[in-house]
Amino acid sequence: MNVTLMLRAARGRALPRLTGQFRSPTWVLYETLLPLLGTTAFVFVYRALGAPDRFVSYVIMGGAAVAFWMNVLWMMAAQFYWEKRTGNLDVFMVSPCGLTPILLGMSAGGIVATLLRAAAVVAIGTLVFHASFDLSRLPAVVGVFTLSLVALYGLGATLASLFLYWGRESWHVASLFVEPVVLASGVYFPVHALGFGVGLAASVVPLTLALDALRQLLIGPAHPALLSLPVEVTGLAGLAVAYVALARFALTRMERLARREGRLSRRY
């Protein structure tokens, strides 16, 4: 594929997500405030339980992680379903760039937009609830975070290709991935609390290893880790490679299948 064309298409798809941030300030308010409301409720739950301070840090990190997970689910995985409904998918399909740069642009735009919201959740949560984080290993935090994003958005791209084929079911499947994944990945508590086996099984979702690794770095030895940091980072790297490759494979396959069965232009 022509690399310049691919980059231009990716930039074109990322642009609406970036400009949208500033075009509708109320959306920023909603999308920062909403995760914060849920986060606040869980902080009060831990206060009711008389939990140690580090649990508040878990919740704040969880609130930021949920913002990314929601973005992956609704703005990546389910995006082609929305595009079908609005009629944009046909336009993407007849454009000379193909769907891969579209996914790349969606990811890039989504990451930047969500980063702003997640940062707001962490900043406000830290200020209001006095969550504390150990920032002595910041370069490692940035590295693990970046790796996590690649794995997470790789999963999003894989799911997007499946949802390209599905119709109304995709909305329900995406809904189904909210609470159960938040539970299994230990978004609001250390995943270790679910037991080693469950935690390991849940590691198929990059959110699990990402959060646990970041908690090891930001909370320190008080955090009961699922696996050692090097093992978790290796696992995340493996997931990143696997999901990006799987997305590439699944996209081609599902697009062919959807074309053959006439599902690409079916709106509902």
Partner 1 sequence: MATTVQRSLRAGFWLGWKIESNWADPLLFLIYSVIRPLGSALILVVMFFAVSGGRRGPLLDFFVVGSAFWPLVLAGLQGLVTAVLEDRELWRMTRSVYTSPISWPTFLIGRTLAATLSAGFGGVVVILLTGRLFLGVPLTLSPGDIGLLAAVVAAGLAAILALGMLTVAGALMAASDAWHLPEAISASLYLVAGAVFPVALLPAPLQAVARALPLTWWLEALRRLLLPAGARLSFPSASDGTVLALLGVTTAAAVAAATVAFRLAERRARRLGLLDRDSGF
| Contact between residue 246 and residue 158 where contact means Cβ atoms under 8 Å apart | yes
Q: Is 263 in the site for partner 1 (CB under 8 A)?
A: no
Nearest to 19 by CA among 8, 29, 27: 27
Q: Is 266 in the site for partner 1 (CB under 8 A)?
A: no
Cα–Cα–Cα angle for 63, 69, 71, nearest 5°?
110
Q: Is 50 in the site for partner 1 (CB under 8 A)?
A: yes
x/- contact string, 56-85, with partner 1 (CB under 8 A)? -----------------------------x
Q: Is 193 in the site for partner 1 (CB under 8 A)?
A: yes
Least separation in angstroms between residue 36's CB and partner 1 is 9
Q: Is 172 in the site for partner 1 (CB under 8 A)?
A: yes
Distances in Å between the Cα of 233 and the Cα atoms of 99, 128, 162, 263 are 30, 31, 27, 39
Least separation in angstroms between residue 178's CB and partner 1 is 7
Q: How many angstroms separate the CA atoms of 114 and 69, rounded?
A: 10
Q: Is 206 in the site for partner 1 (CB under 8 A)?
A: no
Longest Cα–Cα distance in the chain: 58
Nearer to partner 1, 13 or 54 (CB): 54
Q: Which string of b and e fits 167-204 if b means at least 16 CB within 10 Å?
A: eeebbebbeebeeebbebbbbbbbbbebeeebbbebbe
Nearer to partner 1, 156 or 190 (CB): 190
Least separation in angstroms between residue 15's CB and partner 1 is 17
Q: How many angstroms separate the CA atoms of 166 and 250, rounded?
A: 13
Interface with partner 1 (CB under 8 A), residue from 136, 146, 175, 234: 175
Within 95-195, residue ranges assigned H as helices are 100-129, 138-165, 169-176, 179-184
Q: Is 190 in the site for partner 1 (CB under 8 A)?
A: yes
Structure tokens at 196: 């080693």
Nearer to partner 1, 82 or 145 (CB): 82
Nearer to partner 1, 225 or 240 (CB): 225
Q: Is 16 in the site for partner 1 (CB under 8 A)?
A: no
Q: How many angstroms separate the CA atoms of 203 and 151, rounded?
A: 11
Nearer to partner 1, 81 or 153 (CB): 81
Nearer to partner 1, 12 or 167 (CB): 167
Distances in Å between the Cα of 178 and the Cα atoms of 40, 86, 254 are 18, 24, 24
Interface with partner 1 (CB under 8 A), residue from 6, 7, 51, 162: 51
Q: How many angstroms separate the CA atoms of 18 and 28, rounded?
A: 11
Q: Is 53 in the site for partner 1 (CB under 8 A)?
A: no
Q: Which residues bind partner 1 (CB under 8 A)?
A: 24, 26-27, 30-31, 33-34, 37-38, 40-42, 44-52, 55, 85, 168-169, 172, 175-176, 178-180, 182-183, 186-190, 193-194
